[in-house]
Amino acid sequence: MRKNNLQQTLEILFKILVGVSLFMPVFFGGPVAQKFVFPFIVPKILYIRTAAVLLLSVYSVLLLGSVKKYSLVKTPINISIFVFLLSLTISTFVGVDPYKSFWDSHERMLGLFTLFHFIFYYYVLTSVLRKEEDWKWLLRSFLFVGMLVAFIGVLQKGNPDFLYNRGAYRVSATLGNAIYFSGLGLFTTYLGALLFWKEEHRYWKIYSAVGTLLGLLAIFLGGTRGTFLGLLAGIAFALFFYAFTSEKGSKTRKVTIGLIIAGVVLLSSIFFFKNTAFVKSIPLVNRLSSISLSGGTAKTRIMAWESGLRGYLDYPVFGWGPNNFFYAFNQYYQAEFLRFSWSETWFDNAHNVLVNTLTTQGTVGLLSYLGMFGVIFWALFFAYRRKSIDKHVAAIGIAFFLGHLVHNFFVFENPNSYLYFFFFLAFYNSILYPKMHEEKETFVFPSLFSCGLIVVIAFIVIYLTNIIPARANMASLQSLISINSGVDPIESYNRAIEIRSPHIDDIRHDFAKTLWTKSSDYFNAGRKDEAVKLMLLADKGLDENHILHPMDVRSYALHDQIYDRLYDATQDKQWLEKGKVMLERVLPYSPERQQLLYSLSYTLLRLGDIDGAIDALKKSIQDDPQVVEGQLRLASVYRQEEDFENLEKVLESIDKNVPQLRPTEASAVDKVRADVNEWKSQQASASEDTKTK
């Protein structure tokens, strides 16, 4: 009896920990979370990783007590996830930057290390929670989390500055990104629908219906078009599923076919009347109907996909490595990106999970990722055919996973999506293969030594991989705050890097970036010596980052800016020479990136190499003559050198190649034109004087 009580206690503890883990999406706010850099990401990742380790430790004790009952079983879904994990691991260690693949940046924190936690989370859930009764309260709890996040989004809509929303039209609640918010809304919608069909009590049905409605509202408030398309794809599947699995002539079949026809007519009408005031007034629908593939972010995302696909050809089997899309994008960066804005020239993700996975994990990785979806689709459909699960459970499950896949076609996975994706997979795996968990074995109380060892290991892992990074992250934030407030940041910065977090590279980069943006304030305040001391510290940190990430173009670009500031402060040309050598070395990693070419040109000008500066600018113009900035920079050099003949050629090039100028560009071109006209006038006057004489 004592052993059975222990087993029951451990299972209850396990369920409590699972319930606690589900609150990760709302783990934000208060004095603790606001002490972190990237407060919408870092605390959540540390939270779920800690929960996963605790769950694994409780599971380990249960497994020691009854191996047959709690051991993993070879279900198709379990195997598909293992194949994905294996592919992810191989791609990590054969990629171009294994360190980044393993840890990722602290802006996203979705490296292999974190993915291990999510996948182990899945495995322990599906190994311990065997029956639908085990899942009932957890499903209700997760629905509550989704409803709570949606409600916070509603509050932000009424008060756009609430909870760091910063006046944004598209709300993000506690997730920090409208895309993440819409994605959680999609999950909440289908989870509510699932519970609505399964609940028997009236009040729980009402609760589930409210959850579905709040989930739908979140999709619209988040305003993510890809999520809305995912919702439509899921609904379309469900309607066709009900239409073709219902008896001929039945009311259900007639209603669903009618809804399909009505949906087609409605969507056609929206696109046909997309320019009307009524359609434009509908949230999200107006964004969907106004999609253009030739302009704005849609165009640059398609270009990013092209860069990723070109990169895929370099490493077609296992890819560049998880989280290394940035390197492929840089290598095949197209100068055309700058036509749209500087903000559209940096992509660390393809905003398309298929392209991103193909680029970073190769053919094997993409097949393993799609394999997880294929297996769950197959398992649900044939379980319905065998009558082992209810039609509604099958339809809603397939509709969600299909909708999630469509949603990801336009965005990318994030901490919240991994949580509900693997949670829902664990739920369906448990109800699809219940007979594979029916091993009965007496629970044997594990030795106290074994239990103690498990607890010690768990807390060591939590301390080393969560508490230490948390301390370093908070110390890093203090150093950034010190720079911005003009207080000496050296003590807090040294404390951050001495902690030796796996994200030490991000700490060094953030320090250098913030210092560069505030360096002019130091100069203006007469604190050049202090600024030089800090920049030498940043210089050292970036050198160490280059060793860790030798292909990181952004880090090199930042380093060159630090060199420029050091030259401004010291007038020592060694810093310009270092910048020149570094830029020439890094250019092959992104040969068409104008920022590198412009920086090189500026450095060469300051070194007195006019011809070299002109050549760098001509290279940028050759890559894309429609980018006006390169033309204007070249014009500035010619104007400085009083080379008006070439200045006139630049003006002719602008007139020939640039179809439309922005107001600021038009003003700058007008000044160039005025200089050329004045020169021509002077030339004509001089010629007239010569004739007169």
Q: What gap in Å lies between CA 265 and CA 503, rounded to an integer? A: 52
CA distances from 169 to 215, 281, 424, 429, 587 (A): 18, 14, 30, 39, 39
Enter the tokens of residue 300: 């640059």
pLDDT of residue 280: 61
Cβ proximity of 125 and 419 under 8 Å = no
Q: What gap in Å lies between CA 524 and CA 514, rounded to an integer? A: 16
Q: What gap in Å lies between CA 52 and CA 550, rounded to an integer? A: 33
Taking 3-state DSSP, the helix, strand and coil percentages for the chain, each rounded to the nearest 5, stand at 75, 0, 25
Question: Is the model's pLDDT at 301 over the cut of 60?
Answer: yes
Q: How confident is the model at residue 510 (pLDDT cuts 50, 70, 90)?
A: very high
pLDDT of residue 597: 96
Beta strands in 399-505 (DSSP E): none
Residues in contact with 656: Cβ distance below 8 Å, sequence separation at least 6, in sequence order: 625
Q: 663-692 vs 644-657: helix axis angle to the nearest 10? A: 140
Q: What gap in Å lies between CA 95 and CA 666, rounded to an integer? A: 45
CA distances from 177 to 3, 107, 183, 196 (A): 47, 12, 10, 29
pLDDT of residue 269: 73
DSSP string, 11-37: HHHHHHHHHHHTTGGG---HHHHTTSS
Q: What is the mean pLDDT of residues 336-355?
A: 90
Q: What gap in Å lies between CA 559 and CA 505, rounded to an integer? A: 13
Q: 553-570 vs 528-548: helix axis angle to the nearest 10? A: 160
Question: Is the model's pLDDT at 290 over the cut of 60?
Answer: no
Length in residues, the chain: 693
Question: Is the model's pLDDT at 357 over the cut of 70?
Answer: yes
Higher pLDDT, 386 or 269: 386
How far does the chain reach from its first CA to its final CA, in angstroms? 122
pLDDT of residue 289: 53
Higher pLDDT, 526 or 581: 581
Q: What is the mean pLDDT of residues 38-52?
A: 94
Enter the tokens of residue 288: 């969907």
Eight-class DSSP state of 97: -
Enter the tokens of residue 348: 């660390």
DSSP string, 637-650: HHHHTT-HHHHHHH
Q: How confident is the model at residue 692 (pLDDT cuts 50, 70, 90)?
A: low
Please tell me whether residue 110 adopts helix, strand or coil conformation.
coil
Enter the tokens of residue 418: 């991994």
DSSP string, 655-692: HHH-S---HHHHHHHHHHHHHHHHHHHHHHHHHHHHHH
CA distances from 393 to 427, 482, 505 (A): 11, 54, 46
Cβ proximity of 304 and 330 under 8 Å = no
Q: How does pLDDT run across 252-281, given as a tens digit for each residue?
A: 777 888 888 887 777 777 677 666 766 666
Q: What gap in Å lies between CA 124 and CA 78, rounded to an integer? A: 11
Q: How confident is the model at residue 291 (pLDDT cuts 50, 70, 90)?
A: low
Question: If you average pLDDT over each of 19-33, 208-222, 271-285, 674-688, which comes out highest?
Answer: 208-222
pLDDT of residue 684: 75
Distance of CA 693 to the CA centre of its chain: 73
CA angle 506, 546, 327 (to 5 degrees): 80
For residues 606, 607, 608 and 610, what is the CA-based torsion angle, rounded to 10 degrees? -80
Eight-class DSSP state of 467: I
- The backbone torsions φ and ψ at residue 321, rounded to the nearest 5 degrees and listed phi first, read 110, 140
pLDDT of residue 136: 92
Q: Which of 375, 379, 371, 373 is nearest to 433 (CA)?
A: 379
Q: What is the mean pLDDT of residues 397-419?
A: 93
Q: What gap in Å lies between CA 383 and CA 293, rounded to an integer? A: 40
Place of tokens 């508490």: 467
Cβ proximity of 415 and 181 under 8 Å = no
What average pLDDT is seen over the chain? 89
Alpha helices in 42-131 (DSSP H): 42-65, 67-70, 76-94, 98-103, 112-128
CA angle 127, 353, 433 (to 5 degrees): 20
The maximal CA–CA distance of the chain, rounded, in angstroms, is 122
Question: Is the model's pLDDT at 359 over the cut of 50?
Answer: yes
Q: Which of 342, 343, 370 is nearest to 356 (CA)?
A: 370
Q: Where are the domains of the chain?
A: 2-437, 466-624
Cβ proximity of 304 and 331 under 8 Å = no
Q: How does pLDDT run across 419-446, given as a tens digit for each residue?
A: 999 999 999 999 998 765 555 667 788 8
Residues of the chain above pLDDT 70, percent: 92
- pTM beyond 0.75: yes
In 459-480, which positions are buried (b, 16+ CB within 10 angstroms) versus exposed (e)?
eeebeebbeebbebbbbbbbbb
Q: Which of 192, 195, 239, 235 is nearest to 215 (CA)?
A: 192
Higher pLDDT, 662 or 541: 541
pLDDT of residue 285: 63
Enter the tokens of residue 553: 């173009």
Place of tokens 């810093």: 575
Q: Which of 515, 614, 523, 529 is nearest to 558 (CA)?
A: 515
Question: Is the model's pLDDT at 361 over the cut of 90?
Answer: yes
DSSP string, 309-340: HHHHTTSTTT-S-TT-HHHHHHHT--GGGGGT
Q: How does pLDDT run across 185-232, given as a tens digit for each residue?
A: 999 999 999 999 988 899 999 999 999 999 999 998 988 888 999 999
Cβ proximity of 223 and 206 under 8 Å = no
Q: What is the mean pLDDT of residues 396-401?
A: 95
Q: What is the mean pLDDT of residues 176-183?
A: 92
For residues 223, 229, 235 and 237, what is the CA-based torsion angle, rounded to 10 degrees? -160
The CATH number of the structural domain formed by 466-624 is: 1.25.40.10
Rg (CA), the chain: 29
Question: Is the model's pLDDT at 395 over the cut of 60?
Answer: yes
Cβ proximity of 279 and 285 under 8 Å = yes
Question: Is the model's pLDDT at 32 over the cut of 70?
Answer: no
pLDDT of residue 331: 96
pLDDT of residue 88: 97
Which H helix or E strand runs over 382?
Answer: helix 353-385
Question: Is the model's pLDDT at 1 over the cut of 50?
Answer: no
Q: What gap in Å lies between CA 411 and CA 489, rounded to an integer? A: 37
Q: What gap in Å lies between CA 188 and CA 219, rounded to an integer? A: 10
CA distances from 464 to 49, 52, 577 (A): 12, 15, 41
Place of tokens 């100069």: 523
